[in-house]
A = this chain, B = another copy of it.
Amino acid sequence: MERRTDIGPPHYTKFLPPVIQKNYGKWKYHEGVRPGVMVHVAESGDKLYTIRAASPRLLSVQKIRQYCDLADKYCDGYLRFTSRNNVEFLTTKEENIEPLIAELEAMGHPVGGVGRAISNIVHTQGWIHCHSAATDASGIVKSVMDDLIDYFTGKKEVPGKLRIALACCLNMCGAVHCSDIAILGIHRRPPKVMPNLAQMCEIPNVVAACPTAAIRPAKVDGKDTVEIIEEQCMYCANCFSVCPALPMADAELDGVSIWVGGKVSNARSQPMFSKLAVPYLPNNPPRWPEVGQTVRKIVEIWVEHAEPDERLGEMIQRMGWPRFFRLAGIQFSKEHIDDYRYAALSLKRTAQVHQA
Contact = CB atoms under 8 A, between A and B. Distances in A.
Interface in A319-356: 342, 344-345, 349-352
Contacts of A350: 266, 270-271
Main secondary structure of the interface of A (DSSP, over half): loop
Contacts of A351: 266
Contacts of A344: 342
Contact of A266 (B266, B270, B271, B352): B352
Nearest to A266: B351
A143 to B, nearest CB: 34
A66 to B, nearest CB: 38
Nearest to A271: B350
Nearest to A350: B270
A345 B344 CA distance: 12
| Range, interface on chain A | 10 to 19
A32 to B, nearest CB: 25
Contact of A345 (B266, B271, B342, B352): B342
B349 A270 contact: yes
Interface in A249-271: 266, 270-271
Contacts of A345: 342, 345
A262 to B, nearest CB: 13
A271 B347 CA distance: 13
Contacts of A271: 349-350
Contacts of A342: 342, 344-345
Nearest to A265: B351
Contacts of A349: 270-271
A349 B263 CA distance: 12
Nearest to A352: B266
A54 B47 CA distance: 71
Nearest to A344: B342
A320 to B, nearest CB: 13
A350 B268 CA distance: 11
Contacts of A266: 350-352
Interface in A77-107: none
Nearest to A270: B350
A271 B351 CA distance: 9
A271 B349 CA distance: 8
A226 B270 CA distance: 47
Given A266-B350, A270-B350, A342-B344, 9 more contacts: A266-B351, A266-B352, A270-B349, A270-B352, A271-B349, A271-B350, A342-B342, A342-B345, A345-B345
Interface of A: 266, 270-271, 342, 344-345, 349-352
11 contacts: A266-B350, A266-B351, A266-B352, A270-B349, A270-B350, A270-B352, A271-B349, A271-B350, A342-B342, A342-B345, A345-B345
> Which 10 pairs of residues, A with B, have the shortest CB-CB distance?
A270-B350, A266-B351, A266-B352, A266-B350, A271-B350, A270-B352, A342-B342, A342-B345, A345-B345, A271-B349
